[in-house]
Amino acid sequence: MTATATNRPAGGGLHMLNVSHAFGDNKVVSGVSVFVRPGELVCLLGPSGCGKTTLLRLAAGLEELQVGRITIGDETVADGHGGRQLAPEKRNVGLMFQDFALFPHLTVFENIAFGLPEKDTARRAWARETMVTMGLGDYADAFPHTLSGGQQQRVALLRALAPAPRVLLLDEPFSGLDVNRRAQIRQDTFQILSRSGIATLMVTHDPEEAMFMADRILVMQDGRIVQSGTPVEIYFHPQTDFVAELFGPVNRLRGAVSQGSLVTPLGRFPANGLALAEGAEVRVLVRPEALALSVPAAGDGGAALTVLSARSLGRSTHLTLALDGDGAQGVLNARMPGVFLPETGSRVTARVAPENLLVFPEENG
């Protein structure tokens, strides 16, 4: 998400430095630093309980900072070393919860303009104009209970943006939407945030959501950030099994380095760049979509597999396959685009590009 210099608000972004937080004896955030530039969307991705929502609440001022420092622009809004703890309403931060929390007794426009002074004609005009671009122009006088979930999500987003906050904080903003509407609402949200130029920090446990929305992803595990990077870097170059498996199921294989090659049940691959010693044992992770299957089975570099099942999912086909040999490596899953339905019990050849192998030294497991 890139903002131009003309629409980028003042503020200098959000900086959380060496933040830690505990609830009683339960330490939920440990030494985390986060920086979000103006016009950038950074996503905190991780499973429930990893500390990501706590970080969001600390940035908003809904939890008192215990350790570390939080600045917005050049202003310190929280100092965990006995310094200031600026109240939430004084931080100029927009916050959107996953349940939207709209006021049921206020109309759509009144919800969006809530907190805007009557004399702030510029922002009230922005609210009406943006309602139209977001497909809410005909609902200004409607009440929230008459709207669909997607419409309520848009109202909540515009309410958070209406005061022109320096920072926008989004907590699982699409989790309450059904699958069919989620993609369109996500696209609409991305477009409006791209134009806003606001530093945005978003929490999600949905990796596809993070891949679509984020400029950078910060992966959290047990209260720490274990990897940071662009969506492409995180997906194709995970640094741990945990990060790799956040993006869906993987096939787990064992391999070893032998005579300059990585030897796996799927074949031999160049070992250059792995920095592993001769004889080193490794864990090899392969995503289902990385397996390319063909019929009939052939012996020219691929691995022969037996089809256990093949189920069409419409746009893709999910296959369960058995490796040849003693079965110690177990069963593999593959996902092929379109319709690919070989008979159960038939043989196929599986190939995988070397760059799609995720290799981790066994001693790090």
The three-state (H, E, C) secondary structure of 105-148, written as one string: CCCHHHHHCCCCCCCCHHHHHHHHHHHHHCCCHHHCCCCHHHCC
| The two three-digit tokens of residue 58, written as one number | 């600390």
Q: Give domain limits for the chain.
A: 14-92+165-245, 249-364
CA distance linking residue 158 with residue 115, whole number of Å: 12
Residue 291: is its pLDDT beyond 50?
Answer: yes
Residue type, 242: F
Residue 189: is its pLDDT beyond 70?
Answer: yes
CA distance linking residue 18 with residue 28, whole number of Å: 13
pLDDT digits over 44-84, tens only? Answer: 999 999 999 999 999 999 999 999 999 999 999 999 988 89
pTM of this prediction?
0.88
CA distance linking residue 353 with residue 357, whole number of Å: 7
Strand ranges of the sheet holding 331-337, from the earlier edge strand across to the other edge: 292-294, 347-351, 303-312, 316-323, 331-337
Spatial CB neighbours of 343, under 8 Å, sequence gap ≥ 6: 307
CA distance linking residue 38 with residue 324, whole number of Å: 54
249-364 belongs to CATH 3.30.450.40: no
Residue type, 209: E
pLDDT digits over 320-340, tens only? Answer: 999 876 454 579 999 999 999
Beta bridge partners of 216: 42
Architecture of domain 14-92+165-245: 3-Layer(aba) Sandwich (3.40)
Average pLDDT, the chain: 89
Helix (H) / strand (E) element for 321: namely strand 316-323
pLDDT digits over 101-129, tens only? Answer: 899 999 999 999 998 888 999 999 999 99
Q: How far is CA 309 from CA 266, 315, 329, 346, in A?
A: 19, 17, 18, 10
Residue type, 341: L
Spatial CB neighbours of 98, under 8 Å, sequence gap ≥ 6: 171, 172, 173, 175, 176
